[in-house]
């Protein structure tokens, strides 16, 4: 079987769409008018993925989402359309190397419930796409940070919240499959960040990685091995405004533990690592042939969404051929290091504009697909 390949999820939003988000926050356009711009960008994303890249599974590039982390909770990053029982002044999710930060809402009471399920996007995308559709969803481990770190909410215990959260995350994934998605990947960018100790961001110094893994496995336990073959976990050191939040954290601190999550495949940032071979080795040593009934496939990142430099198919092929020295080729895949723009307001400063970054993303994806084909040919699979 040839080396499989798929994208993580997000694509840069056109500047016109980003301006529409701002106009909606300012009250200058309606929710329906913002949705018109989202739908137009989503259709353009799918059409371009199908016509320009040869991508196996298509998505809308998260054009309809405030961010990969907050789509269930709010219409925009500024908090317009925030769901009930939430306030906008939650803890930072991450502080990035360039100094900017992203903030989560704060839970104020229960019960916790999603306002929007990703299946809504799947249904719309299925009506457009001629290829199979995948969908990325948020991990429960990210959303557990909604609950205040060192206090209890009166009348709504942390454990009751976590129970409701697991139910909602399972429902989000199931509804995506029911709507026609053939693959669902779970964003776990907080995994590497959990090993950072940033005094500006208190949750990062709380040794929460094992709690994150355990919570994700509570969701995975709701699915059969056959279902989990098509449920993935994505990890990266962040990718927003062409900056990262945790690339300085030694990768082995995550990779020695992450494969304990009983998912069927993993989308793993690697191309932008200084020592790629150590990442391949760690993945080969720690990924499991049998994770509660499912083999774990390692989709290695072979393009860097934070750089406007386009990797050639030959460079991508070489990365995969080297990876196959450490990872069984039947459990090797190719992906991008991260989503190309996980947050809806991202001007892609190293690229010059989000519109140019959108063109570059299509070129990178097309070369990934071709590089995976070339590697498959060279490896005889």
Structural domains in the chain, sorted by start:
15-379 (3.20.20.210)
| Mean local confidence (pLDDT), 265-273 | 98
Res. 80 pLDDT band, cuts 50 70 90? very high
Residue pLDDT, tens place only, 121-146: 999 999 999 999 999 999 999 999 99
First and final C-alpha spacing in the chain: 5
What pLDDT, on a 0 to 100 scale, did the predictor assign at position 294? 98
Q: What is the pLDDT of residues 214-241, one digit of tens each?
A: 999 999 999 999 999 999 999 999 999 9
Alpha carbon distance 68, 308 (integer Å):
22
* H or E element, residue 279: helix 276-286
Predicted confidence (pLDDT) at residue 152 exceeds the cutoff of 90 = yes
Residues 253, 320 contacting (CB under 8 angstroms): no
Give 185's strand partners: 136, 232
Element (H, E) at 184: strand 183-187
Which distant-in-sequence residues (6+ apart) come within 8 Å of 275 by Cβ?
none
Residues 346-372, mean pLDDT to the nearest whole number: 98
User: What is the C-alpha to C-alpha distance for residues 218 and 376, in angstroms, rounded to an integer?
Assistant: 35
Tell which residue, 260, 342, 368, 311, has the closest CA to residue 13.
342
Q: Which pLDDT does position 207 carry in this prediction?
A: 94
pLDDT band at 250 (very low <50, low <70, confident <90, very high): very high
pLDDT at 1: 79
Would the pLDDT of 305 be above 90?
yes
Angle at the Cα of 134 from the Cα atoms of 142 and 24, rounded to 5 degrees: 65
> Average pLDDT of 254-278?
98
**pLDDT, position 166:** 98
């Amino acid at each position: 079987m040839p080396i499989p390949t798929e994208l993580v999820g997000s694509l840069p939003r056109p500047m016109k769409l980003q301006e529409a988000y701002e106009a909606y926050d300012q009250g200058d356009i309606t929710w329906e008018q913002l949705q018109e711009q989202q739908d137009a960008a989503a259709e353009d994303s799918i059409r371009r993925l199908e016509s320009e890249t040869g991508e196996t599974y298509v998505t809308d590039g998260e054009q309809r989402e405030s961010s990969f982390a907050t789509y269930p909770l709010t219409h925009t990053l500024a908090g317009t359309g925030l769901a009930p029982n939430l306030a906008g002044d939650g803890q930072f999710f991450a502080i990035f190397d360039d100094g900017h930060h992203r903030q989560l809402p704060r839970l104020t009471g229960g019960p916790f419930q999603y306002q929007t399920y990703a299946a809504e996007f799947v249904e719309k995308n299925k009506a457009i796409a001629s290829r199979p559709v995948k969908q990325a969803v948020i991990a429960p481990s990210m959303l557990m940070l909604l609950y205040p770190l060192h206090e209890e909410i009166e009348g709504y215990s942390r454990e009751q919240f976590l129970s409701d959260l697991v139910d909602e995350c399972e429902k989000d994934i199931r509804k995506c499959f029911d709507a026609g998605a053939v693959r669902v990947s779970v964003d776990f960018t907080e995994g590497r960040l959990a090993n950072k100790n940033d005094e500006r961001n208190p949750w990062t110094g709380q040794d929460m990685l094992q709690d994150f893994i355990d919570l994700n496995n509570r969701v995975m336990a709701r699915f059969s091995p056959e279902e989990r073959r098509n449920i993935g976990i994505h990890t990266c050191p962040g990718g927003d405004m062409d900056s990262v939040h945790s690339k300085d954290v030694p990768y082995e601190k995550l990779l020695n533990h992450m494969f304990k999550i009983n998912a069927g495949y993993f989308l793993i940032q690697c191309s932008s690592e200084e020592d790629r071979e150590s990442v391949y080795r760690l993945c080969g040593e720690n990924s499991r042939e049998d994770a509660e009934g499912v083999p774990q496939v390692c989709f290695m990142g072979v393009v860097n969404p934070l750089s406007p430099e386009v990797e050639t198919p030959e460079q991508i092929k070489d990365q995969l051929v080297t990876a196959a020295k450490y990872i069984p080729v039947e459990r090797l895949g190719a992906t991008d290091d991260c989503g190309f723009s996980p947050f809806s307001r991202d001007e892609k400063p190293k690229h010059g504009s989000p519109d140019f970054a959108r063109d570059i993303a299509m070129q990178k994806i097309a070369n990934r697909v071709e590089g995976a084909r070339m590697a498959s040919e060279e490896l005889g699979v």
